[in-house]
Chains A and B, each alone.
Chain A
Amino acid sequence: MENKTQYWKGIEELNREPEFVQLSKNEFAEGLPLDEVLNESDLNLSSNRRDFLKFFGFSVSAVALAACNKAPVKNVIPYVVQPEEVVPGVPNYYASTFKGTPVVVKTREGRPIKLEGNTKSSITGGGLDAAGQASVVTLYDSKRLPLPLKKGERSNWALVDKEITAALQSAESSGKGIRIVSGPVMGPVTQSIINDFKAAYPSARQVVYQGISYDGIYQSNEMCFGKAVIPTYRFANAEVVVSFGADFLGTWLNTLQYTRDYTSKRVPTKENPVMSRHIQFEGNMSLTGANADYRFPLRPSQEGQALMSLYNALAKQMGLTQLATPTKLEVAGNGIEESAKVLAGAKGKSLVVSGSNDPYIQSLVNQINLMLDNYGKTIDLDNYYMLRGGDVSFSDFVKEAGSLGAVIFYNCNPVFDTPEGAALKASLENVKLKVSTGYYQDETASICDFVAPDVHFLESWNLTEISRGKYSFTQPTIAPVFETRQAETSFAIWSNNAAIANNEFNYYEYIRNWAKNNIYDGVLGFDAWWNQSLHDGVFDKPELTPQVPSNNVLASDLVAKINTKVGNNDLILYTKVGMGDGSDGNNPWLHELPDPVSKITWDNYLALSLHDANELGIEQGDLVSVSNGKTTLDKVPVLIQPGQARGSFGIALGYGRSMGVKDVIGLDAFPFVGKMNGTSSYYVSDVTIAKVDGHYELAQTQTHHSIEGRDIVREATLAEFAKDSKVENHDELGRMRNEEGKLYNLWREFDYKGHKWGLAIDMNACTGCSACVVACSLENNVPVVGREEVRRRREMHWMRIDRYYAFRQEGEYLTREKDYDKMEDHQYVKAVHMPMMCQHCENAPCETVCPVLATTHSTEGLNQMTYNRCIGTKYCANNCPYKVRRFNWFRYNDNDDFNYYMNNDLGKMVINPDVTVRTRGVMEKCSMCVQRIQSGKLNAKLEGRKIKDGEIKTACQQTCPAGAIVFGDMNDPESQISKEFMNDRAYKVLEEIDVKPSVRYMTKIRNVEEKKSVSTAQH
C-alpha cells in the first residue's frame, strides 16, 4: 500500500523550473549580504590589500576599545506603591474578549504580552485564531491616535466634547438628522448606550453595515422563517457537509466555533473508523476547500444553477416536485449527483451552506436544508449568532448622507471598506458634524471634523453577547497607553447620559447595572456572580431547544430571482485569513503571516488558473489590469493558483489601505463590490484581464525549505483505514514503517530518565488556519522581517505550515515525472497542511556538525539552541533534513530597515521577557517552548507535586482551535502524548534517515470512495 501520490508545494517545483532547482540546492537562497552591508558605509568587497589591513586594524582596535568600555549602569526601579496583585516576574491572567472571541490575557508587570483562547468558553473551547493572536500588537501600535483630533489637529477632550455636544444639539434642532454608523454591535451594553443616545437625540438613527456583509443570510431567514438572524451552524452534528463557496474554516462567520465542531467529526479512530464527509464547491482555493474530501471547481456565477441542480437531485430522490429550471444544468461534473446521494443518506445529520450574500440563493439553501430535515439539528435559528442590525440600511444612508446634520462613525471605516466609499466621502462634505471614534487616522477619520479615539479592547470594559445568551466579558488589562477614551463614554457624555454623576461617567458601573438588570441569574449574590463571571470571562444562559421553523417560501418562487446567467470571467472578492476586512491593516503580523493556501505574504494578488493564464499569455510575476468597465485596478500581480476554477479570478479585499497605516500594502479591491438582489455581491462577472508592463515578485514562502520530493506526507482513504488502521505506515515489504528494523546507530543510546518531551500533530484535525504560526512568533519573540526579506527566503517563523498539493485525474493519482503532460489543468488538486517545526531529533544531524557545540541535546529530549554560543556558521541549517532552522541576518529589534513593532520603544512592550531577543548572526529554531516547560516544572516543584499531564502547553498547542497538537511527557505512560504515539496513524517524518524525531504526525485520512472516479467533466 505504498503512497504513490506526488506532493508538491508550488508550480515551479512541479515544473522543475531551473531557477527553482538552482535555489533548492542551497539552504540559503543568497550568499552573505556582505557587499550590501559594506556598501552602506562606502566600503566594498573588491578591496585591495591596504583596505584589508585597514579593516583588520579597525577590527582589532574596535575590539580592544569595546573591551575597555565599562558596562553601562543599569537601574532597578521598583514601584512606589506596589499593586497587591502584581508580583514582579510572575504573570497575571485576565479574561477578556477580542471581537467576539473569549480570550485570556497574559500580563507581565502590568503589560499585556500574549493572548490565549479562553478554555471556559462553550463556543471556542480555548482556541484563538491568527487575528486574535496578533491583536495584542495593535495595543502598542505607534500609529494609534494619542489624543482627540479637531480638523486633523491635536486637541483635548474638554474642547472636543464641548464642540461635539453643541454641534449635535444644533443638528438635532435643525431637524436634519443624526446617524451613528458602525459595524455590527455585539455588545448589548454598548447598544444600550447607543439607545440612550438615540433617546437624547430623537432624530438619531443607527446605521449598521459590515465590510464583509452577511445580509443575505439575515434576509433569507426573515423571508423564509420570519427570523432575521444568523443561525448557529452546528458542524458537530453534521455527518455530511456540503459547502458552496463558504470558507467556514477560514473567514466565514464564527470560524473558531466551526473549526472546533468540524474537526470533532473529522478524526477517525481504530475502534470507530468514521468521520464526516465534506464536499466543497468553490472558485478560489480556500482553506476550507483544501480540507475537503471532495473539492469541485465552481465559479460563483454558476452557484445558482448548481444549487438548483442539487435541489432537483434531492427532490428526485425523495420523490418531491422538482424545480422548473430554465436550462439544463451541467456544472461541476457529477459532483452535484454525488452530493445529493450522500446528503439524502444523512437526513437530519447533514448541512448545506453557501458563502453567497444573495438572499435568494441563501433562501434556496434554506429550502434544501429544510428538505434534508436539518433545522433544529445542524442549524439552530433559536440560539442564533449575534450580529445585530441597525435602523437604516447602509445604502439608504449613503443616499441621504448629503442632507444629514451629523454623522458619527463608531469604530468603522466605510470610506475604505464599502464600494460606496468614494460617493460617501463626496456627499459627506456638506454635513456639518462628522465624528470618528476609531483609533487610527484612517480613510474615514481623515474626512471627519473630530476624531475621538476609542481605547483598545485590552484597555476597556465591556460585555459582548457572542450568540444568544452567551456572554463574554472584557476587562482592562492596562491603563490606556494613550490619552484615548472609551467610545461608550464618549457617547454618554455627548448625549448627557442619565448615569453621569459629578461630571463623571463610570462605564464600569453602567455595565454592572445593566448586567444586574438583564442577565444576572440570581443564584449567587450579585457581587459574587459578577466576580465569578468576570473571573471566568464568560457567562452562559441556558440554551433554548432549537425548533423547526415554519417555512413561508416556496422554492419554485425563488427560481426566477436567482441569477442563472453564467458569466465569463468571474472576479471573486474574498477575504484572507488574518487580514479580514482590513481593519487591522497596520498589524505587521497579519501581513507577515503566509496565506494558508497560497503562502503569500505582504500582498494581495490576482489568483487565476493555469489554463486561464496560458490562454491570456500570463506568467507568474506578470502584472495585469483588471476591469469590469466601471472600476479598473492596474498593476495587479498575478499568482497561478492550483485549484482555481477555470474562468474565475480571485482577489483579496482588505488590502490597499492608504491612511492610518505605516505603508500602503496591496491594492484596494472594495470598489469592485457590487449589488445583487439588494445586497452586496462579492463577485463580478465578465471582467477583463489584460497584461500590462512590469514584473512583480510576490513574497511567497511556498517553495522555501524544499523537501526534495521525499515521502513526507502520508494520506489514505477512510475505507483503507477501516480495513487496516496502520494503513500508510507499512513499507513495500509489508513491515511496519514504525518498526525498528536492523538499524545501526552511530551514537550511544541515551536513557532519558526524567521527562522526555514530545509533540503529536494530527493532520486530520489540522485545518491549516495558521493561528499557531502567529502564537509561536509572539511567544518566542520572533521578529517580523518584511516583504523584501521574505522574497529572499529569510522569514523567521519557527513554525511554518507546509501546504502540499497533489492532484488526481480520472480516479488516479498522477505522479510528476510520467503523467504531468496528461494533466488538463490544475483544477482538481487536493491539499494537505502539515505544521512543521523543529523535530527535536534524538540523533539530530544539526548537533553533530556544530563546530562550537551551540546546539546540543538535553536530558529531556529537547534539541537545544544556545544563542550565546552560536557563531553563525549555518552548518546546522544545511544539515537539517526538515529545514526548520532560521538564521538571523539582521538585528531586527534595533534596525530602522525593519521598522516593525520590535523597533520602537512602545512596540517592544509586547516582547516576552522570558525569552531571549536574538541578535544578528545566530541561528534559531523551535525550542518546544522550553520557557513554558521550565516554568511548568518549577510550578510543580514549588508545590511539591508531580507534573500533571496537559499542564504544560506549547504556544501552538494552546491556540489551536482544532486541538490538532498535543504536547507532553513521553516517559509518562498515562499521558495523552503516549497514547497519541501508540495511535496506528502515528508516523515519523523521514523516518528512513533514522534521526528519531520527537514529533509524530497522524496520517491524513480522507473520506473518499475508494477507486471511485472524481469527475473531471470538461466545461
Chain B
Amino acid sequence: MPLGIDSKMNNRFSSAMLKKPVQSLWRSVLALGVLATSLMPLQAQDVANGKSLFESNCTSCHAIQEKTIGPALKNVDQRHDEAWLIKWIRNSTAMIKSGDPAAVKLFNDNNKVAMSTFENFSDKDIKDILAYVKEESSKAPVVSAGPGEAPGTSGSPAPAPAAGSNMNTTVLAVLAVILILASILLIRINSFLKELILKKFPERREEEKETWYNSKFTPWVRGLNPTIAGLVITTVFMLMFGGWFFVYANTEIGVQQGYAPTQPINFSHKIHAGDHEIDCKYCHSSVEVSKQASVPAVSTCMNCHSYIDASKKYNGQVSPEIQKIRTAYETNTPVKWIRIHNLPDLAYFNHSQHVSVGKVECQTCHGPIETMDKVEQVASLQMGWCVNCHRESKVDVENNDYYEQLHADLEKRGKRSITVAHNGGLDCGKCHY
C-alpha cells in the first residue's frame, strides 16, 4: 500500500525533475540566441518583443517547425511578402472574403479553419513576430516546441487515483484495531497472571486493598446516585456528539470542497489553460452569456485535436487520452464528464452575471485552475462563502448604464461605490427561487 503513494510521488518528482532541466536548458539557449541576435546592428526588429507576442498569441495554433492547427511557420517570410502577411495576420477573414487568391488557397489548404483576427497589432508588432519566426526558422528543430510535447500527466499512465489518503486511513484503522486487540490481550494475560499469584499467595490480597483507588475512589463512586450519574454521563456524551455533529453537518454534509474525481478522459487544465494559455472562453464558450459555463462539445476539442495528437511522446502513436476524444467524435458518443461543482437545485447561479457583469475572474471561485492537472473543487460553495464575496465585492456602477440611476444617487451622496450586498445582493430571492 505505501508503494502506491511512493510510486505516485516518485512519478511526479521524477517527471518534474526530468522536465525542468531540459526546459531551462532550452530557455537559456533561446535567451542567448535572442541576446545575440538583438545585438546585431542590422536587425531592426525587436525579436524579443516578437517572441513574447508570438508566445502569447500564436502558439495555441501555430508552431515554427511543424503543422499544428495552422500551418508550420517555418520560412513563412519566403512564401508571402511582408505587406501581405501584415494584412493577413490583422484580418484574414476579410482577405478571404475579398477573394485574395493566396488567402483563399491558404484557407482551403487548412481545412477552412479561420484564423483569429489581430486588429490590435501594430505594423511593428507583426514585423517583430515575423522577425522572430524568421530567426526560429533558421534553427534546426532541436527541441520540439509543439503543444503535444507539453509536460503533464497525459503522458504517464494514469497514476493511482487519489486513494492514498483513504488507504492511509485504512492502514491506521487496521493498526489501531490490532493494537487495541493486543492491549486487551495483554491486560487479560496480566490479570490472569495476577489471579494466579493471588491464588498462590492469598496473603497478598490484603495489601492490594490498601491502594488509593480502593480507599478513596471506590467509595465515592459507590456513593453516587446511579440514575443521576447515568444521566450526567449521557448528557455529556450527547453534548459532545451534538457538537461534533453540528460541526460535521456544517462543514461536511453536502460540502464537496476538494472533490477531484477521476474524469473519463485525463484532461489537464494545466496543459491547456496554463502552458498554452488557451483562453477559458474558447472551450467554456457560453460563460459570458449563459447561466452555464458549459463543458465544450467534443467537436470543440476536435478543432485542435484533429491535428494535435502528441504522437511525439508516444513513439508516433496517438496519445491514448487524445484517442478517446477522437473515438468519441467518430462514434458520435458524448463524453460523460463527472460534474465537480454541484450546486443544489435550490440555488440559482448564473455565470454571465458574475463573469460579464461582475467581471469576476474564473480563478476567484475555481482556484488556480490553470495549474491543475486534475480539477478539484477549491471553494466550499457554501452559502457563507457566496455571501462573503457579495459583502466584499464592489458594484461597477460607472461602466454600465444599467446602474445609471444608482450611480447618480451615489454621487449625490458623495460615495464612489457600493458593495453587491448593499445593492440587494443578500436578498434571498436573488438566488433562491
Residues of A within 8 Å of B427, CB to CB, are: 856, 858-860, 862, 864
Closest beta carbon of chain A to B290's beta carbon, Å: 4
Residues of A within 8 Å of B401, CB to CB, are: 944-946
Asked if A88 meets B289 with Cβ closer than 8 Å, knowing A78-B335, A930-B429, A941-B400, the reply is no
Residues of B within 8 Å of A916, CB to CB, are: 345-346, 432-433
Closest beta carbon of chain B to A221's beta carbon, Å: 52
B338 touches A (CB below 8 Å): yes
Q: CA–CA, A944 to B404, complex, Å?
A: 10
Residues of A within 8 Å of B335, CB to CB, are: 77-78
Asked if A942 meets B297 with Cβ closer than 8 Å, knowing A76-B338, A78-B337, A859-B427, the reply is no
Assess the A941–B338 pair: CB atoms within 8 A: no
Closest beta carbon of chain A to B227's beta carbon, Å: 18
Asked if A946 meets B404 with Cβ closer than 8 Å, knowing A868-B432, A916-B346, the reply is yes
Cβ-defined partner of A67 (8 Å) among B249, B291, B300, B342 = B249
Cβ-defined partner of B291 (8 Å) among A74, A75, A89, A869 = A89
Query: Residue on B with the closest CB to A945?
Result: B401
Residues of B within 8 Å of A914, CB to CB, are: 291, 348
Cβ-defined partner of A76 (8 Å) among B256, B290, B339 = B339
B95 touches A (CB below 8 Å): no
Q: CA–CA, A75 to B290, complex, Å?
A: 19
Asked if A930 meets B299 with Cβ closer than 8 Å, knowing A942-B357, A944-B400, the reply is no
Q: CA–CA, A917 to B344, complex, Å?
A: 11
Cβ-defined partner of B432 (8 Å) among A88, A860, A867, A940 = A867
Residues of B within 8 Å of A859, CB to CB, are: 423-424, 427
Assess the B339–A81 pair: CB atoms within 8 A: no
B32 touches A (CB below 8 Å): no
A393 touches B (CB below 8 Å): no
Q: CA–CA, A947 to B399, complex, Å?
A: 16
Interface string of A57-77 (1 = CB under 8 A from B): 000000010010001011111
A519 touches B (CB below 8 Å): no
A-B contact count (CB 8 A): 155
Q: CA–CA, A858 to B428, complex, Å?
A: 7
Asked if A82 meets B299 with Cβ closer than 8 Å, knowing A76-B337, A754-B424, the reply is yes
Assess the B298–A77 pair: CB atoms within 8 A: no
Most buried by B among A76, A77, A862, A917: A76
Residues of A within 8 Å of B402, CB to CB, are: 937, 940-941, 944-947
Q: CA–CA, A88 to B290, complex, Å?
A: 7
Cβ-defined partner of B353 (8 Å) among A88, A938, A945 = A938
Decide if the interface of chain A is mainly helix, strand, loop or mixed: loop
Interface residues of B in 394-433 (CB under 8 A from A): 399-402, 404-406, 409, 423-424, 427-430, 432-433
Cβ-defined partner of B286 (8 Å) among A87, A856, A858, A915 = A87
Residues of A within 8 Å of B345, CB to CB, are: 916-917
Closest beta carbon of chain B to A946's beta carbon, Å: 6
B334 touches A (CB below 8 Å): yes
Q: CA–CA, A625 to B290, complex, Å?
A: 59
Q: CA–CA, A944 to B357, complex, Å?
A: 9
A744 touches B (CB below 8 Å): no
Assess the A754–B294 pair: CB atoms within 8 A: no
Query: Residue on A with the closest CB to B330?
Result: A80
Q: CA–CA, A754 to B298, complex, Å?
A: 43
Q: CA–CA, A80 to B331, complex, Å?
A: 9
Q: CA–CA, A858 to B427, complex, Å?
A: 5
Assess the A73–B429 pair: CB atoms within 8 A: no
Closest beta carbon of chain B to A854's beta carbon, Å: 8
Residues of B within 8 Å of A173, CB to CB, are: none
A934 touches B (CB below 8 Å): yes
Closest beta carbon of chain B to A942's beta carbon, Å: 6
Interface residues of A in 940-968 (CB under 8 A from B): 940-942, 944-947
Cβ-defined partner of A87 (8 Å) among B290, B298, B347 = B290
Closest beta carbon of chain A to B291's beta carbon, Å: 4
Assess the A73–B261 pair: CB atoms within 8 A: yes
Closest beta carbon of chain B to A506's beta carbon, Å: 24
Interface residues of B in 111-147 (CB under 8 A from A): none
A747 touches B (CB below 8 Å): no
A927 touches B (CB below 8 Å): yes
A513 touches B (CB below 8 Å): no
Residues of A within 8 Å of B295, CB to CB, are: 76, 78
Interface string of A403-447 (1 = CB under 8 A from B): 000000000000000000000000000000000000000000000
* A interface residues (Cβ-Cβ under 8 A, vs B): 64, 67, 71, 73-82, 87-90, 753-754, 856, 858-860, 862, 864-869, 914-917, 927, 930-931, 934, 937-938, 940-942, 944-947
Can you give 16 A-B contacts (C-beta < 8 A)? A64-B245, A67-B249, A76-B339, A78-B295, A79-B297, A90-B286, A856-B427, A858-B430, A864-B427, A865-B433, A868-B432, A869-B428, A916-B346, A927-B429, A931-B348, A941-B402
Q: Which 5 A-B pairs give the minimum distances between C-beta atoms?
A: A89-B290, A864-B429, A89-B292, A82-B297, A859-B424
